[in-house]
Amino acid sequence: MRIVVTGAAGFIGYHLVHQLLAKGHQILGIDNFNNYYDVNLKRSRIENLINLKKPINSSFEMKSNDLEDKNACNEIFNIFKPKIVFHLAAQAGVRYSITNPEKYFQSNLIGFGNIMECCRKSEIKNFIFASSSSVYGGNKNIPFSELNSVDHPVSLYAATKRANELMAHSYSHLYQIPCTGLRLFTVYGPWGRPDMAPMIFANAIMNELPINIFNGGDLSRDFTYIDDVIEVFLRIMEKPAIPNSNFSYDKPVPFESWAPFRIFNVGNKKSIKLMEFIKLLEINLGKKAIKNFQEMQPGDVKDTLADTNLLEEWINFSPNTSLEFGISEFVKWFKFFY
């Protein structure tokens, strides 16, 4: 199968391409290799993919392009002629969106729109995109359900991800493109992002630097291991969104439609206290953290926890890797790479 993966040099993109190649697919990756975080890490991921021992029928080609460049995107799709698109490219980061909002307008809105246009013109059979648990914003209903309202984002990043969901629904309705949005909950693991807590904390602990712990440590997150996330993507690839013929126009639900459109949470169904997470890092790294307690940061939410019942019904799977195993695997990679 000919598949485009945007954000292929990113954390999730790297792992997804790795598994797709192992299964014998032809992959074209797109990434702009921006300097939001260490470009050397991104290039190391791609180097690994290029050197990966692949089945004879698989192939991997990498394009360095901004998705805001409409002409470049059209040319890539016209030449490669994909059937499936995984859209993972985005300007990430809640806190970064507070000080650099224009980057989110360009990448997460214009870039997303250009990819959707390419999907329309190429008659894509399955469009799968990364949304975020951040869309739940100020929602206090725990666990977060796809039935909850997501109309009160508390960061621009979250607002752009919610906008992506609405844009995808419009394209699904107008052009019958099967679209599935996956609301990812705090993904972690080997080859992770340096701007996320596991990498920030591990680096500080190993170098005996203080770590900033917000809201006095009274935070919890639904940590989701990368291998589980990739399994979800692969299963969704085999089961595109379909219209719900019984959709109620009088009592519409937000996670499905009369169009071929679905939204699912992707989380581990366990909310882990931040201090417990730090303790596991300390045990695996063999060092104590120097803790610097601070107030809650703008744009952050106190707790996250995913309800994944709808996902499990759809693909007969939901993430279940224990944090103990996941942190152990992450620390093994961290020590090896750094």
Angle at 96 between CA 219 and CA 275, to 5 degrees: 20
In single-letter form, the type of residue at position 182 comes to L
Nearest by Cα to 184 from 223, 236, 227: 223
pLDDT of residue 217: 87
Candidate list 157, 171, 188, 225, residue with the active-site label: 157
- Cα 281–chain centre separation: 22
| Burial of 63 (C-beta count, 10 Å sphere; 0-12/13-18/19+) | middle
Q: pLDDT confidence of 97, banded at 50, 70, 90?
A: confident
Domain 2-188+225-269+305-320 belongs to what topology? Rossmann fold (3.40.50)
Render pLDDT for 122-151 as a digit per residue (tens, 0 to 9).
999 999 999 999 999 888 889 999 999 998
Q: What is the pLDDT of residues 18-76, one digit of tens each?
A: 999 999 999 999 999 999 999 999 999 999 999 998 999 999 999 999 999 999 999 99
Instruction: Summarize the confidence of residues 295-311 as an average pLDDT.
Output: 88
Q: Given 3-state DSSP classes, what are the helix, strand and coil percentages for the chain, each rounded to the nearest 5?
A: 45, 20, 40
Instruction: State pLDDT tens for residues 203-255.
Output: 999 999 999 999 888 889 999 999 999 999 999 999 999 999 999 999 999 99
Alpha helices in the chain (DSSP H): 11-22, 39-51, 70-80, 94-99, 101-104, 112-122, 156-175, 197-206, 226-238, 274-285, 309-315, 323-337
Amino acid symbol at 236: I
* Residue 157 designated active-site: yes
